[in-house]
Amino acid sequence: MALWSGRFEQGVDAFTQRFGASLPIDKAMYKQDIAGSRAHANMLAAQGVIATDDAAAIGKGLEKIERSIDAGEFAFDINDEDIHMAVEKVLTADIGDAGARLHTGRSRNDQVATDARLFAKELCSELMAHNVSLRRALVAKAEEHFGTVMPGYTHMQHAQPVLFSHHMLAYFWMLTRDHVRLKAAFDAADVSPLGSAALAGTTYPLDRAMTAAELGFAGMTENSLDAVSDRDFLLDLDYACAVSMMHLSRLCEEIILWSSSEFGFITLSDKYSTGSSIMPQKKNPDFAELIRGKTGRVVGDLVGLLVTMKALPLAYNKDLQEDKGGAIDAAHTLADCLVCMDGMIETMRVNEGAMLEQAKKGFLAATDVADYLAKKGMPFRAAHEVVGNLVLLCEKRGCDLDDLALDDFKAASELFDDDIVSELDLESIVEARTTYGGTGHEAVRVQLERAHGVLERD
């Protein structure tokens, strides 16, 4: 019989019992549920609502239950519906009336909100640690190959040469923002709803600040109706996960392209590749593809909860039970993907020669040649036109800008001199981009320093 069966004449149908149960998902929150119960019982005793002996018995009983779940010996019963009733039932069976007093001044509505917030905080902390670890791997790769020049792209067409380190650090900063978002989700969860009871607070003299402090919350919710029906903190977590997956999917896409024979920029470690069951030569970037694919599911987790929340009237509605599955899935998926990407980046081989080879193609010096003319007084638009014509000339001859003779340059403009030769050198082109945040060696050195500083903080 369910803990709420008093007003019923019949038990729930076996199918609806299973259908309505959240136990298969929320049993993951058993530690949080037990911590919440312990704090509630201690507070009830401190306020004289239950006897100190009862609180002590509850504490001991909960400890026993926690140990048995830890050991995988706890007999979960789907008829208990959720983790809250599963724990309470076994507790009461074990210690009798003291256990039956635990739910005084409490509802599963504030209980589940408390558990979910504690759980979300833990997930955020784990994700932040994985995020930092991957960012370290990106910085390490950037440092290992400092000075390597590769083509920078816009529209997937060769644009201007950049440092490979600069490209790696672009992902570092994306992931740094993900860390900020995860911390924001942590802070959103870090508010205690315990003591809101079913929806309206209670008549017992609860000390909400005491339970909040014992559970390590930074503050308390202000409105009991909002407290039991707010799942913004899970939306924040879902959103942080979805954005971070989107970032990983962009990196995956580049890894997949870069490891193709057309690019050959990187070689993935065998540990992060798979073969084909029919084509003996294949080495596939499966795991990058898988992360790219999982991004869809995590975005779905965010959208799913948003739609569940849409138009929900106050206060608790059973719809809210659909909140945890997606959030846990999003967090676990992101955690796995961060770990996988960390190893993939750390073990990948960077083929510096292939990058440089490609950087020599596609007239990557064109902007700098135009700048050369502009710096000698020609309006930039006119310079753009002159260099455009030179590129056309090269295309007709099937050569590159640095294959042109000085006379070819001079024929295009009087302003060209023999110092144009150094202007065409990829290394100097990169070096010259000294703008703060640009790809020049010095600017990237500053960037690396900033990255280390940020990692120190995170």
**Structural contact between residues 185 and 236, judged by C-beta atoms closer than 8 angstroms:** yes
> What are the tokens at 345?
């980046």
Question: Minimum distance from CB of 209 to ligand ARG (Å)?
Answer: 24
**Structural contact between residues 12 and 2, judged by C-beta atoms closer than 8 angstroms:** yes
- Of the pair 327, 390, the CB lying nearest ligand ARG is at 327
Closest-CA residue to 3 (of 90, 67, 63, 76): 90
Question: Minimum distance from CB of 197 to ligand ARG (Å)?
Answer: 11
59 CB-contact burial (10 Å; exposed 0-12 / middle 13-18 / buried 19+): middle
- Residue 295 makes CB contacts below 8 A (sequence gap 6+) with 242, 245, 246, 248, 249
Closest-CA residue to 324 (of 117, 181, 86, 178): 117
Question: Minimum distance from CB of 247 to ligand ARG (Å)?
Answer: 31
- Of the pair 108, 441, the CB lying nearest ligand ARG is at 108
**Interatomic CA distance for residues 44 and 103, integer angstroms:** 10
The active-site residue, picked from 5, 68, 269, 276, is 276
Contacts with ligand ARG by CB under 6 A lie at 22, 26, 82, 108-109, 112, 316, 318, 320-321
DSSP code of 201?
-
Confirm whether 158 is a catalytic residue: no
Question: Minimum distance from CB of 261 to ligand ARG (Å)?
Answer: 51
What angle in degrees, to the nearest 10, is found between the helix axes of 164-189 and 232-258?
A: 160
Question: Minimum distance from CB of 318 to ligand ARG (Å)?
Answer: 6
- Of the pair 92, 109, the CB lying nearest ligand ARG is at 109
- Residue 447 makes CB contacts below 8 A (sequence gap 6+) with 166, 169, 437
- Residue 40 makes CB contacts below 8 A (sequence gap 6+) with 102, 105, 106, 194, 211
- Of the pair 42, 109, the CB lying nearest ligand ARG is at 109
DSSP code of 284?
B
DSSP code of 73?
-
Question: Minimum distance from CB of 101 to ligand ARG (Å)?
Answer: 20
Question: Minimum distance from CB of 232 to ligand ARG (Å)?
Answer: 15
Question: Minimum distance from CB of 210 to ligand ARG (Å)?
Answer: 23
- Residue 425 makes CB contacts below 8 A (sequence gap 6+) with none
- Of the pair 112, 243, the CB lying nearest ligand ARG is at 112
- Of the pair 23, 429, the CB lying nearest ligand ARG is at 23
| Strand extents, DSSP E, 55-204 | 149-154, 157-163, 191-192
Confirm whether 155 is a catalytic residue: yes
The backbone torsions φ and ψ at residue 37, rounded to the nearest 5 degrees and listed phi first, read: -65, -40
Question: Is the dihedral angle over the CA atoms 324, 128, 227, 106 positive or is it negative?
Answer: positive
- Of the pair 231, 384, the CB lying nearest ligand ARG is at 231
Question: Is the dihedral angle over the CA atoms 417, 418, 422, 426 positive or is it negative?
Answer: positive
- Of the pair 322, 408, the CB lying nearest ligand ARG is at 322
What positions carry a catalytic annotation? 155, 276
